[in-house]
Amino acid sequence: MTTPPPEPRPPGTAAYALALLIGVYGGFLQAGVGFPLIALFVSHLGHDLLRANAAKVALVFVYTLLVVAVFAAAGQIDWPRAGQLAIGMTFGGWLGARMQLRAGAPLVRWTIVVMVAVSGASLLV
């Protein structure tokens, strides 16, 4: 589906099932979980790409906080490197939000296409 409906729609059984599968994947591996989340928000919940991306970022932020708490309690976080990563991600998020607001959905769409292609290629190597 390339054009979402004018209004987001309530989740159905399929959306709940997909959300569960995406949650299991995200909890197990986390890498690249944003791609299936965006697909869920656009294809099953009827959000446009900009809203879907914003919802994805917010959702990943919340469950990342929970994951950090678990790993911190176990003493398994390298705090200096985690701080560097957090600074880089903050700058990247700020820059990405500004670019997304200026360029709109085409930027998000092409970024997703490129990143899925890069991810797929890296799995083949």
Confidence at residue 120, expressed as pLDDT on a 0 to 100 scale = 84
Residues 101, 89: Cα–Cα separation, whole Å: 18
**53-76 pLDDT, tens digit each:** 888 888 888 888 888 899 999 999
Q: Residue 29 in 3-state DSSP?
A: coil
Taking the whole predicted model, whether its pTM rises above 0.75 is answered as: no
Ordered by start, the domain boundaries in the chain are 13-124
